[in-house]
């Protein structure tokens, strides 16, 4: 299977990539490295701010999307409240239309709440 990990260079993405690649899957990571280091394992890595990237071909060409990109961490958010909130809102606004366009399962972990987006994009927490 082909997986797309948005924010895949972070904590969860790194562990998830290891697991998926150990199982023989292909993993494309898109991450701006704003709070992460360049990942060591991947099939393809794109260093970019997701908010400024045309995601069409990436979402179209994968089977499953994990939407992990976010500004997280109490101390970080406390220090930069408006920029972290802006990043998270703009990420949602930018990514969700691509997820709606293609009929695949997508998983998203946002703001410490686990959400699963099903095929009709109903959100369950
Ligand atoms: N780590 C946990 O224990 C935990 C628990 C529950 C939920 N979550 C949620 O899971 C998600 C991922 O958590 P994590 O711990 O891996 O966080 P993380 O900060 O390690 O990873 C987030 C990644 O998103 C990237 N990113 C942020 N803004 C970006 C942008 N505009 N463009 C491209 N990349 C961008 C960062 O560089 C980083 O690599 C978050 O939504 C978090 O709230 C995490």
CATH number, domain containing residue 43: 3.40.50.720
Give the residues surrounding ligand 1 with Cβ less than 6 Å away: 7, 9-13, 31-36, 49-51, 68-72, 87, 91, 109-112
Q: Please give the Cα distance from 16 to 27 (Å, whole number).
A: 10
- Which residues, in sequence order, are bridge partners of residue 115? 108
- pLDDT (tens digit, 9 = 90+) per residue, 94-113? 998 998 898 766 666 554 43
The pLDDT assigned to 61 comes to: 95
> Ligand 1: which of 70, 83, 114, 125 to mutate, most ligand atoms within 8 Å of CB?
70
What is the structure's pLDDT at 109? 57
The pLDDT, as a whole number, for residue 40 is: 97
In order, the DSSP letters of 44-101 are EEEES-GGGS--HHHHHT-SEEEE------HHHHHHSHHHHHHHHHHHHHHHHHHHHH
Question: pLDDT tens digits for the chain (125 residues)?
Answer: 999 999 999 999 999 999 999 999 999 999 999 999 999 999 999 999 999 999 999 999 999 999 999 998 888 888 888 999 899 999 989 998 998 898 766 666 554 433 444 434 444 43
Q: How far is the CA of 70 from the centre of ligand 1 (A)?
A: 5
For the chain, the domain total comes to 1
Name the residue of 4, 11, 93 to mutate for ligand 1: max ligand atoms within 8 A of Cβ: 11
Given a contact cutoff of 8 angstroms between Cβ atoms, the answer to whether 58 and 5 are in contact is: no
List 110's β-bridge partners, or say none.
113
- What range does the domain containing 78 cover? 2-124
| pLDDT score for 2 | 95
């Amino acid at each position: 299977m082909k997986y797309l990990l948005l924010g895949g260079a972070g904590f969860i993405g790194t562990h998830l990539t290891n697991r998926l690649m150990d199982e023989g899957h292909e993993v494309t990571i898109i991450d701006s490295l704003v709070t992460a280091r360049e990942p060591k394992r991947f099939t393809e890595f794109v260093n970019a701010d997701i908010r400024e990237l045309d995601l069409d071909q990436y979402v179209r060409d994968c089977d499953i999307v994990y939407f992990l990109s976010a500004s997280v961490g109490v101390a970080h958010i406390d220090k930069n409240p408006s920029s972290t909130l802006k990043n998270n809102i703009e990420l949602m606004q930018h990514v969700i239309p691509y997820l709606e366009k293609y009929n695949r399962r997508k998983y998203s972990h946002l703001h410490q709440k686990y959400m699963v987006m099903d095929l009709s994009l109903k959100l369950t927490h």
